[in-house]
């Protein structure tokens, strides 16, 4: 109940405080990349229940001659790169928190297509509500391997507490200011998860 109260009160306050930034980002994205401004995608929530996550769009929809999307690094714009590095793209997820799909802190919700690839241990990350930020995000984010990320997620599930959540929120703010661990070392975004050895 305390976690839910903090989620609602903090996300409401942040939405109000960041509303000028949200409006400004929406206008810039619309002018630079066109509409829609928001990127929407189905992700697994608590107990793997699907929900639609909201983010600001950071890439174009450019495709090759066969209709396939071009690689991320070719679709990422300068505007999108700035929005991602400053984590402005995450702000619409505060709406997801108010709706109850997300918590401020928890394992990041990944792609639906990854669900059959998890080991039983890795699946534990879905025993709690996913979050905008989490233990893995302050310990490497996209700069660590999938296996290490999942170990950190499961550790959080088994050790979650109010104190730990407050520490994660503090470290998240610090990392955003320092722009740490935004992308994997050789990719605009981290490589897709292809499964672990079981």
- Segment-wise mean pLDDT, segments of 10 residues, the chain, 198 residues: 91 95 94 90 96 92 79 82 88 96 96 94 96 91 85 96 94 79 47 76
The predicted-structure confidence for 11-60, as pLDDT tens digits, reads as follows 999 999 999 999 999 999 999 888 899 999 999 999 999 999 999 998 88
**Full domain range(s) for residue 139:** 1-178
- Based on DSSP, count helices (H) and strands (E) in the chain, helices before strands: 7, 4
Answer yes or no: is 120 within a domain: yes
The whole-model pTM stands at 0.84
Q: Does residue 20 sit within a domain?
A: yes
Helices 2-17, 162-178: axis angle to 10 degrees equals 20
Residue 197: predicted pLDDT:
61
Which pLDDT belongs to residue 183? 42
Inside any domain, residue 17? yes
Tokens of 84: 């991602």
Tell me if 194 is assigned to some domain.
no
- Using CA of residue 135, residue 187, residue 52, residue 179, what is the dihedral sign? positive
pLDDT score recorded for residue 194:
85
| 187 found inside a domain | no
> Which letter does DSSP use for residue 76 in this model?
B
* In a domain? residue 186: no
- Please, are residues 57 and 154 in contact by the beta-carbon 8 Å criterion? no
pLDDT of residue 120: 95
* Residue 60 maps to a domain: yes
Count structural domains, the chain: 1
How far apart, in whole angstroms, are the C-alpha atoms of residue 26 and residue 34?
Answer: 10
Q: What is the pLDDT of residue 180?
A: 61
- Is 184 within the bounds of a domain? no
């Amino acid at each position: 109940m305390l976690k839910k109260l903090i989620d609602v009160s903090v996300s409401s306050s942040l939405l109000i405080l960041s509303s000028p930034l949200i409006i400004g980002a929406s206008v810039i994205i619309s002018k630079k990349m066109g509409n829609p401004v928001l990127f929407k995608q189905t992700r697994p929530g608590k107990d793997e229940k699907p929900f639609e996550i909201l983010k600001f769009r950071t890439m174009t929809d450019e495709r090759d001659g066969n209709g396939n999307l071009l690689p991320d690094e070719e679709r990422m714009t300068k505007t999108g790169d700035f929005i991602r590095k400053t984590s402005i793209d995450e702000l619409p997820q505060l709406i997801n928190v108010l709706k109850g799909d997300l918590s401020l802190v928890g394992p990041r919700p990944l792609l639906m297509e990854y669900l059959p690839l998890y080991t039983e241990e890795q699946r534990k990350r879905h025993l709690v509500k996913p979050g905008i930020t989490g233990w893995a995000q302050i310990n490497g984010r996209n700069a660590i391997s999938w296996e290490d990320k999942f170990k950190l997620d499961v550790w959080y599930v088994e050790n979650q507490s109010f104190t730990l959540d407050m520490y994660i929120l503090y470290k998240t703010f610090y990392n955003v200011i320092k722009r740490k661990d935004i992308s994997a070392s050789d990719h605009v975004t981290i490589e897709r998860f292809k499964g672990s050895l079981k």
